[in-house]
Structure 1
Amino acid sequence: MTEFTKRTTSPFRYDVVGSFLRPQQLKDARAQFAQGQISRAELTQVENQCIIDLIKKEEAVGLHAVTDGEFRRSWWHLDFLWGLQGVEKAQAEEGYVFHDEISRAETAKVVGKVSGENHPFVQHFKFTQAHVSAGTQVKQTIPSPAQALAEFERPENLAGIKQFYASLDEFCADLVKAYNQVIGDLYRAGCRTLQLDDCTWGALADWHEHPEHIPAYGIDATALDRNKEAFVEINNAVLKGLPADLTVNTHVCRGNYHSTWSNAGGHDYVADPLFTRERVNAFYLEYDSERAGGFEPLAQVPDDKYVVVGLVTSKSGQLEDKAAIIRRLEEAAKFHPLDKLCLSPQCGFSSTEEGNILTEEQQWNKVRFIKEIAEEVWG
């Protein structure tokens, strides 16, 4: 019988990406707050109770690293950017384009010099940390620096950068410092597991295979290689010099909004530099559909790094065939050692507050299903 390494830090053999379906009580409270019917303090009280309830459910289902479900956020990424100094919430010219629908049109606009002091996510982390059982780890999810750069480089946002910065390089330097400030504050608050969520690589993979999908705002096929370099450089600039006991993983996403998606294409084009050069401990990768391509690019992941194979979809409540998932894990192990693989959903269950189209019971059944498979494969 094969002996596998026992996981004591993230990623664990069965894991989740981060977000969970918002309970109706929380959705109602957010709507009431938006309409001025309850105060911020009253909304926070509802959020607190819903997060405490979620933590209990995560622990009951056997998760070793839990999150707050991103219950205090509207978006998986924008709320983090809105929490930076010098950044404000703004209307976008168009929402994010998904396969079947277009999202709400919101973005983050630079309105001054960017910095990371007093970020609200630090207090959010402290609350979650204070309510877990002994031995349970808290995973903090934030958008990657590359994702932030991509958002700020949207045409309607570039004017703000030009108003306060002499060059994009100067802006990027402040963005790196802002991330360093937030991550440092999270670390001092006790955070030891950080996940950088990143849709930029999925977009580049799609645009390389399908140039017709490239947005018509200043990006062309010849710029994709430059974007690859820019994204890995800014991610690594933030990752450089972090404490040795801070585990940093990344989730590479192809879009997850109301059970639809935005990008297709394998990891072949982005494997170098993503797998070969990005200084993370593990890669959470989407593999729940044919849009993900093959496992061959996993051969470029260094043997000392982990791959969390997202074979179970969060977009549907229907359970997959267990034998088929195990076969897929065996296929992935031809390109990266099985001892360095883990299993998770391909993405969160609710990357935005709208949530995917499945029930809460189906959501937890998915997590139990992943645990069952992991225990069968790795013991």
Structure 2
Amino acid sequence: MTVKTTSKIGFQHVGSFLRPDVLKQARQDYFNNQITQKELTTVENEAIKDLVNKEVAAGLDYATDGEFRRSYWHLDFFWGFEGIDHIHYGEGYHFAHEETRDDTAILSGHIKFNPETHPFIKDFEFLKLLTDNLDIEPKQTIPAPSQLYVELIRGTNDEKIKEFYPNINDLYLDIEKAYHDAILAFYDKGARVIQLDDCSWGLFLDEDFLNTPDGKAYANSGIQDILLELNNKAIENLPEDLTINTHVCRGNYHSDFAFSGGYGPVADTLFAKENVDTYFLEYDSKRAGNFEPLAKVSGDKKVVLGLITTKSGELEDRQEVINRIKEASQYLPLDRLWLSTQCGFASTEEGNVLTEQQEWAKLKLVKSIQDEVWG
């Protein structure tokens, strides 16, 4: 892959937006068998059209569909692969203060990507069609290959791995190929910016977890190298005009978080060796640690500082944000830094605890600080 970090990052949002009430109601009606898939799709289409128009009005250079057709930021994409089933695990993800719904992805065969059956391809086609007539570029967000692997080895899920992949290396190869094929399919439909969302590194950051026996075993398992290899192999040998970014955070569910800790424990792997163009990083609270690990970002790769939180509607102090950008520039030059929110506004359909008006006010603040600091 050719790293093109000298190109303009532009004003872009991480990905997800709060679902409008009409969309939430339609999804609930579909779940209750009160409307058809076609009727739900019509509501989704109208909501996405409205969102894209608002993104244009806000001055964004890149548009997402808000992840409006998804229930989760990651699982819906996994369920689109052949060889992966949607089941209820019996237990959700445990965040600091809440437990999520209990959906998960589990192996049912060998993993393959089929462009005819994976719904995200048609979803992107719709977004591309909308943006073709507007002054904005489409951006596709998908969970990282490493995130799929972490889901498949979650608890009892990994029992299926031995059944379908007695040689674990075959699983790695299938994940890498499925993702590579998917990325090329998006490219063929006109995608030129693809973002790999990745919470898989969070467990390495949390000292409370790392001090437990399970945490020590996890940290010493060599899994960082596996995650790195999965991500890098998936994005090898892609077209030179395709930008691959990654977004790394510590969990974002209903304004709650999953992990704490600075990026130090993963900097030598994630920052130094992952072959992406740009890192979108969570830096909206003291839980994220200091900026020192940014010195490990290799080559001319860039970092987008997620200094504006999506977990609260309260606006940040403008000067404090600017001061933190200057602080970060001690470790990475200012021309390799940029600004965004730390995550999306609704990583799951529940959404974070703020209003739509506050959501757009956050993005307005991001844009105004970008203009002041970078011109």
- Change over 3 Å in CA distance of 1:68–1:213 after alignment to 2: farther
Other-structure match for 1:167 = 167
Distance in 1, matches of 2:210 and 2:167, equals: 30
Q: Is the 8 A contact 1:303 1:340 kept in 2?
A: no
Q: Alpha-carbon deviation of 1:135?
A: 4.2
Q: Is the 8 A contact 2:146 2:200 kept in 1?
A: yes
Other-structure match for 2:121 = 122
| Deviation sequence 1:11-39 (CA, Å, 0-9, x none) | 32x43110000000000000000000000
Select the residue among 218, 221, 228 that pairs with 2:216. 221
Structure 1 residue 93 corresponds to structure 2 residue 90? yes
Structure 1 residue 62 corresponds to structure 2 residue 59? yes
Other-structure match for 1:210 = 208
Distance in 2, matches of 1:315 and 1:368, equals: 16
| Deviation sequence 1:209-240 (CA, Å, 0-9, x none) | 223676x8xx4413324111111111111111
TM-score (norm 1): 0.94
Within 5 A, what are the aligned runs for 1:73-88? 73-88=70-85
Distance in 1, matches of 2:321 and 2:211, equals: 30
- Change over 3 Å in CA distance of 1:260–1:213 after alignment to 2: farther
Other-structure match for 2:185 = 185
Q: Is the 8 A contact 2:203 2:209 kept in 1?
A: no
Other-structure match for 1:256 = 252
Q: Alpha carbon RMSD of aligned pairs, Å? A: 1.5
Other-structure match for 1:368 = 364
Q: Secondary structure at the match of 1:88?
A: strand
Q: Secondary structure at the match of 2:180?
A: helix
Unmatched segments (≥5 aa) in structure 2:
none
Other-structure match for 1:277 = 273
Other-structure match for 2:103 = 106
Q: Residue 267 of structure 1 aligns to which amino acid in structure 2? A: Y
Distance in 1, matches of 2:41 and 2:317, equals: 40
Distance in 1, matches of 2:268 and 2:237, equals: 22
Unmatched segments (≥5 aa) in structure 1:
1-5
Structure 1 residue 29 corresponds to structure 2 residue 16? no
Other-structure match for 2:373 = 377
Select the residue among 233, 258, 271 that pairs with 2:229. 233
Q: Residue 149 of structure 1 aligns to which amino acid in structure 2? A: Y
Q: Is the 8 A contact 1:349 1:355 kept in 2?
A: yes
Q: Is the 8 A contact 1:15 1:343 kept in 2?
A: no
Q: Alpha-carbon deviation of 1:167?
A: 2.0
Aligned identity (percent) is: 48
Select the residue among 37, 40, 45 that pairs with 1:40. 37
**Paired residue total:** 367
Q: Is the 8 A contact 2:204 2:210 kept in 1?
A: no
Distance in 2, matches of 1:63 and 1:302, equals: 28
Q: Residue 221 of structure 1 aligns to which amino acid in structure 2? A: K
